[in-house]
């Protein structure tokens, strides 16, 4: 029905190896891109942009980053919140030190700073793995937040320890600060999401990605066949932290505008992104998006339904929301332990064979 | 039964909200009834809502225009606060009261852009006192820096004006909220010569073992606590565990409610805190409250919090908001005021003792007036002490004035730095 593959032939290896080998998928992707860039910016209102779409895009980047490390390279990390904080504080320091600098450049530089920090905290991964590495990255989370709340240099000695994003423009249009329009902010985030997802997809199916997956599946075997685990693990940490840093920088500069490390980048952020990756599907680009959608947009939609439409008391709705999201996580993990992406893959397989399954 | 009433009230609010143009005044409440800070959020939200309900039921609204309430749950979480703000900003909110310093920082630039006034009563960004820089933010009647200075003035009086051999520890919630008083206390230590030490507790604040170990080692003469939510009862319990003399342990006004001391039981006896207003049910307003709100079953929440410290604070916040709305109607000569008109009402607000007595809250808070140059009030506060046997807070001092000269100096420093950072030219709006 949906997937009509009759006549969709491939005559070259390139055609067979493309990201979306099925024509229907490919067209759906082009359509999504066209709508996202060509239609949404003109119709989106402030509420949907600021409360739903922009946080979704930003967390999708973080989930992509963690997916590279945990899903593709098998290195469990609980330091995501700390690395997001590095991105945010790096962006703040760069923004205030060089007021004239292009904001896109600031965000990319913040990502690079985070990549360097990530490599530093990735060093223990050469000796330890699994739960032990999770605990080592947990230390990174606590240390980094501690650093950003205790060392006044990082927040430019402000009295309250908050960092504020001053207004910065891109080609004369304000991108950060309260004057930035939702459409601009949306486009900036969308640009980063698309560019980084494209990069992630191509990295993971190239040599580097294959070496990550080899290390993930069996590191000793990988080493025997010539994969350098040092290089594989540290590049995974670097690329992952780069993504997470960019998401932290975007969260601070274009979305929240004012941030306090302990509150915004606490341990619950690390868990949130880890849940996104697990629910979305380890080792899948689509999974990062599905996971972010489930955990960022889901609660907002639930709130809109329960409070704004059904008129329930806010506290009851908030408690129910926690319960419903928790129950859904359990159900999903029991029904499909490989995440929403695997669920989608199964559906897709079935649809391709429908109505004649074998 | 409670449920359906709530649902009905909301359903009415929803249906009236959509079709007609503002035939009412929208007073939103960014509340938190869940999460580690719910203990403080619930009574405040209840008090705020009940007072507005009372005005609707008894007076038929403000100047004949009914109040429409809406609530949005933030869970004291900044990102949720932003979501709430986005959901209500288009609906002509008269005044925002986020009850969170973190959310206040988020909303300051946004409310300037959207021209919506924000009232951060006794919290938020202290330098918003300078109304020429922060045109849309108000923090009357008192600020954190006032609180810190009132505390120092109080212990100065207790020690016959000499603190030079004293050691004071600030135990603070490690967030923007908790860090606000540090600079003031440091500056005051230069003047008065006490040894100052600040010890942070990470949010939410249940783990304070090492901090109290340090306090035990340092043997301070006074500990002042800048805590909120679950941090406060934990701290009082810890203080009792190390046998720190309770009468030398002070909370700020967000660490001085029933919820904070009850958990520690007998051990909390003698614990002191600042108070920015009086509390209890011995005010004439509660006769009307009983008649129009409580007996009528229109109260918010469970009704168990009525008359507690934070309930009184919510009620006080609502009272100030309603008074400002009346002022705004008076200035502009219309009943259907906009948020921008509301701002004018807030800036010209004057609360006298006579007015408070008229409202059934005689001597409840300090008399003060707001101006463009000073968006805060008098900054005065009192000290209250917990009596664990009677389960009551007793006021042990009269109003204590802060060191306003020093505070205004600090305010000018911080607000002008903000103005420079954000390219704001300090000026009054009218």
B182, B295: one domain: no
For residues B177-181, average pLDDT: 89
Q: Tell if the CB–CB gap between A314 and B72 is shorter than 8 Å.
A: yes
Interface test with B, best of A314, A316, A319, A321 (most B CBs within 10 A): A314
Given a cut of 70, whether residue B19 has pLDDT beyond it is: no
Question: Contact B260/B236 with Cβ under 8 angstroms?
Answer: yes
In this structure, are B244 and B387 located in the same domain?
Answer: yes
Domain count, chain A: 1
- Identify whether A133 is part of a domain: yes
Domain shared by B48 and B148, yes or no: no
Query: SS3 string of A128-166?
Result: CCCHHHHHHHHHHHHHHHHHHHHCHHHHCCCCCCCEECC
Choose among B259, B287, B289, B263: nearest CA to B393: B259
On whether residue B428 sits in a domain, the answer given is no
CB contact under 8 A, B73 and A164: no
Look up residue A241 and give its two tokens: 């932290």
* Cβ within 8 Å, pair B83-A166: no
Contact: B105, A313; criterion CB under 8 Å = no
- Nearest by CB to A159, from B102, B110, B179: name it: B179
CA dihedral B356, B360, B364, B367 (to 10 degrees): 0
CATH number for the domain spanning B170: value is: 3.40.50.2300
Question: Based on the domain organization, do B210 and B311 belong to the same domain?
Answer: no
pLDDT of residue B21: 52
Q: How far apart are CA A47 and CA B97, in angstroms?
A: 19
Q: Do residue B79 and residue A319 have CB atoms under 8 angstroms apart?
A: no
Same domain, B21 and B136: yes
Q: Would strands B272-275 and B249-251 be described as parallel, antiparallel, or unpaired?
A: parallel
Q: How many domains does chain B have?
A: 2
- The HSE-up count of residue B255 (CA atoms within 13 Å, CB side) is 30
Give me the residue label for tokens 């609502």: B318
H or E stretch covering B167: strand B167-173
For an interface test with A, the pick among B174, B201, B226 (most A C-beta atoms closer than 10 Å) comes out as: B174
Give a yes or no: residue B257 inside a domain. yes
pLDDT at A358 over 80: no
> B73 and A177 in contact by Cβ < 8 A?
no
- Nearest CA-CA partner of A201 in A108, A286, A294, A274: A286
Q: Give the pLDDT confidence of A242-261 residue by residue, as tens digits.
A: 999 999 999 999 999 889 88
A168 to chain B, closest Cα gap in Å: 10
**Domain presence at residue A106:** yes
Residues B163 and B14 in one domain: no
Q: Looking at the partner chain, which of B86, B113, B176 has a beta carbon nearest the beta carbon of A50?
A: B86
Tokens 């975007």 sit on residue? A250
* B422 to A319: CB separation less than 8 angstroms, yes or no: no
Residue B40 lies in a domain: yes
Picking from B208, B32, B201, B40, the residue whose alpha carbon sits closest to that of residue B122 is: B40
CB atoms A314 and B71 under 8 Å:
yes
In this structure, what token pair is assigned to residue A175?
């991108």
> Is position B430 within any domain?
no
Residue B274 CB partners (closer than 8 Å, separation 6+): B147, B150, B151, B250, B251, B252, B253, B256, B381, B382, B383, B384
Look at residues B365, B369, B379 and name the one whose alpha carbon lies nearest to residue B408.
B379
**Does residue B427 belong to any structural domain of this protein?**
no
- DSSP characters for B26-56? EEEEEE--SSTTHHHHHHHHHHHHHHHHHHH
Is A234 part of a structural domain of the chain?
Answer: yes
Mean pLDDT estimate for chain A: 90
Beta carbons of B367 and B353 less than 8 angstroms apart? yes
pTM: 0.90
Nearest to A46 among B86, B108, B183 (CB): B86
Q: Which residue segment(s) compose the domain that B291 sits in? A: 2-143+284-379+415-421
pLDDT-derived band at B8 (thresholds 50, 70, 90) equals very low
Note whether B238 and B171 are within 8 A (CB).
Answer: no
pLDDT band at A109 (very low <50, low <70, confident <90, very high): very high
Rounded Cα gap, residues B132 and A248, in angstroms: 33
For residue A315, the chain B residues in CB contact (below 8 A) are: 33-34, 38, 42, 73
Helix, strand, coil % over all residues of chain A, rounded to 5? 75, 0, 25
Q: Using CA atoms, how far apart are residues A322 and A328, in angstroms rounded to an integer?
A: 10
Say yes or no to pLDDT of B17 above 60.
no
Residues B369, B386 share a domain: no
Q: Based on the fold, state whether residues B175 and B209 are members of the same structural domain.
A: yes
Instruction: Tell me which residues of chain A have a C-beta less than 8 Å from any C-beta of chain B.
Output: 46-47, 50-51, 55, 149-150, 159-162, 164, 166-167, 177-179, 255-260, 262-264, 266, 300, 303, 307-308, 310-315, 317-319, 322
Residue A279 falls inside a structural domain: no
For the record, the structure tokens of A198 come out as: 């494209």
Whether A37 is in a domain gets the answer no
ipTM comes to 0.86
How do residues B393-427 score in pLDDT, each as one tens digit?
999 999 999 998 999 999 998 899 888 878 889 99
What local confidence, expressed as pLDDT, does residue A157 receive?
84
CA-nearest residue to A306 within chain B is B7
**pLDDT tens-digit map of B193-229:** 999 999 999 888 888 989 999 999 999 999 999 999 8
Q: For residue A264, which residues of chain B lie inside 8 Å, CB to CB?
A: 78-79
- B103 and B243 belong to one structural domain: no
- Of B325, B281, B315, residue with least CA distance to B54: B315
Q: CB contacts < 8 Å between A and B, how many? A: 122
Find the range with the poorest average confidence among A60-64, A223-227, A311-315, B292-296: A311-315
Rounded to 5 degrees, φ, ψ at B168 are -120, 130
Q: Give the model's pLDDT for residue B93.
A: 93
Q: Give the pLDDT score at A1.
A: 56
Question: Is residue A358 classed as helix, strand or coil in its secondary structure?
Answer: coil
Residues B375 and B385 in one domain: no
A287 in a domain, yes or no? no
DSSP state of A311: -
- The verdict on B273 and B399 lying in the same domain is yes
Contacts of A162 in chain B (CB under 8 A): 102, 105, 176
Query: Who among A178, A312, A315 is closest to B7 (CB)?
Result: A312
Mean pLDDT on A239-244: 97
Report in angstroms the alpha-carbon separations of B92 from A48, A216, B131, B337: 18, 54, 22, 9
How far apart, in whole angstroms, are the C-alpha atoms of residue B149 and residue B137? 22
A82 domain residue, yes or no: yes
> Looking at per-residue confidence, does B345 or B4 come out higher?
B345
Place of tokens 């008649």: B291
Q: Is A266 exposed, middle or buried (0-12, 13-18, 19+ CB in 10 A)?
A: buried
3-state secondary structure of B293: helix
Domain assignment present for residue A298? The answer is no
- How many CB atoms within 10 Å of residue B92? 20
Residue B43 shares a structural domain with residue B123 = yes
């Amino acid at each position: 029905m949906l997937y009509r593959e009759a006549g969709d032939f491939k005559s070259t290896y390139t055609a067979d190896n493309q990201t979306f080998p099925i024509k229907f998928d490919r067209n759906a992707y082009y359509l999504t891109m066209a709508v996202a860039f060509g239609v949404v910016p003109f119709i989106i209102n402030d509420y949907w942009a600021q409360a739903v779409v922009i946080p979704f895009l930003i967390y999708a980047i973080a989930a992509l980053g963690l997916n590279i490390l945990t899903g593709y390279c098998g290195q469990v990390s609980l330091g995501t919140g700390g690395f997001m904080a590095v991105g945010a504080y790096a962006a703040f320091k760069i923004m205030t030190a060089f007021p004239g600098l292009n904001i896109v450049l600031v965000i990319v530089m913040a990502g690079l700073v985070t990549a360097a920090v990530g490599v530093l905290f990735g060093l223990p991964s050469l000796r330890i793995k699994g739960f032990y590495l999770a605990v080592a990255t947990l230390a990174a989370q606590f240390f980094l937040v501690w650093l950003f709340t205790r060392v006044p240099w990082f927040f430019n000695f402000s009295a309250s320890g908050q960092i504020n994003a001053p207004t910065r423009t891109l080609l004369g249009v304000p991108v950060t600060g309260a004057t930035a329009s939702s459409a601009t902010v949306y486009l900036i985030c969308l640009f980063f999401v698309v560019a980084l997802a494209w990069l992630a997809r191509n990295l993971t199916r190239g040599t580097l990605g294959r070496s990550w997956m080899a290390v993930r599946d069996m590191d000793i075997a990988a080493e025997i066949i010539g994969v350098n685990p040092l290089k594989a693990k540290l590049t995974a940490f670097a690329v992952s932290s780069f993504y997470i840093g960019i998401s932290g920088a975007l969260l601070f500069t274009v979305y929240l505008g004012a941030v306090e490390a302990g509150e915004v980048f606490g341990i619950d952020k690390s868990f949130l992104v880890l849940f996104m990756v697990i629910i979305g599907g380890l080792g899948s680009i689509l999974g990062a998006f599905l996971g972010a959608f489930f955990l960022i947009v889901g609660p907002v939609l639930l709130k809109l339904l329960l409070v704004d439409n059904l008129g329930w008391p806010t506290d009851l709705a908030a408690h129910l929301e926690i319960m419903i999201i928790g129950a859904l996580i359990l159900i999903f993990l029991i029904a499909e332990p490989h995440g929403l992406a695997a669920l989608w893959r199964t559906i897709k397989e079935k649809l391709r064979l429908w109505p004649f399954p074998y | 039964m409670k449920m359906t009433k709530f649902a009905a009230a909301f359903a009415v609010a929803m249906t009236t909200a959509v079709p007609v143009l503002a035939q009412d005044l929208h007073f939103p409440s960014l509340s938190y009834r869940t999460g580690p800070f719910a203990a403080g959020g619930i009574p405040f939200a209840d008090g705020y809502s009940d007072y507005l309900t009372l005005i609707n039921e008894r007076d038929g609204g403000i100047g004949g225009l009914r109040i429409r309430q809406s609530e949005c749950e933030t869970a004291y979480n900044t990102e949720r606060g932003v979501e709430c703000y986005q959901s209500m900003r288009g609906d002509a909110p008269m005044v925002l009261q986020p009850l969170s310093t973190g959310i206040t920082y988020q909303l300051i630039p946004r409310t300037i852009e959207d021209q919506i006034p924000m009232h951060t009563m006794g919290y938020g960004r202290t330098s918003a006192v300078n109304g020429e820089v922060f045109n849309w933010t108000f923090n009357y009647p008192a600020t954190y820096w006032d609180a810190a200075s009132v505390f120092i003035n109080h212990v100065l009086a207790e020690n016959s004006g000499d603190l030079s051999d004293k050691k004071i520890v600030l135990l603070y919630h490690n967030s923007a909220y908790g860090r606000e008083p540090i600079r003031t206390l440091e500056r005051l230590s230069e003047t008065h010569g006490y040894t100052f030490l600040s010890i942070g507790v990470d949010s939410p604040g249940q783990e304070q073992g090492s901090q109290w170990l340090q306090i035990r080692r340092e043997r301070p003469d006074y500990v002042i606590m800048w805590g909120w939510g679950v941090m406060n009862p934990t701290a009082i319990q810890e203080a009792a565990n190390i046998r720190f003399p309770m009468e030398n342990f002070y909370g700020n006004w967000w660490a001085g409610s029933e919820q904070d001391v009850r958990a520690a039981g007998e051990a909390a006896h003698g614990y002191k805190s600042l108070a920015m207003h009086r509390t209890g049910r011995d005010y004439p307003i509660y006769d009307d409250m009983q008649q129009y709100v409580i007996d009528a079953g229109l109260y918010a929440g469970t009704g168990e919090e009525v008359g507690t410290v934070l309930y009184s604070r919510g009620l006080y916040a609502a009272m100030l908001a309603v008074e400002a709305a009346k002022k705004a109607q008076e200035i502009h000569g219309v009943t259907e005021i906009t948020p921008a008109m509301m701002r004018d009402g807030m800036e010209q607000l004057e609360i006298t003792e006579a007015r408070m007595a008229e409202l059934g809250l005689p001597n409840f808070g300090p008399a003060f007036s707001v101006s463009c140059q000073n968006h805060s009030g008098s900054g005065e506060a009192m000290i209250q002490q917990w009596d664990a046997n009677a389960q009551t807070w007793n006021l042990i001092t009269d109003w204590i004035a802060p060191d306003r000269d020093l505070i205004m100096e600090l305010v000018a420093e911080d607000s002008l730095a903000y103005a420079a950072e954000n390219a704001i030219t300090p000026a009054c709006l009218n």
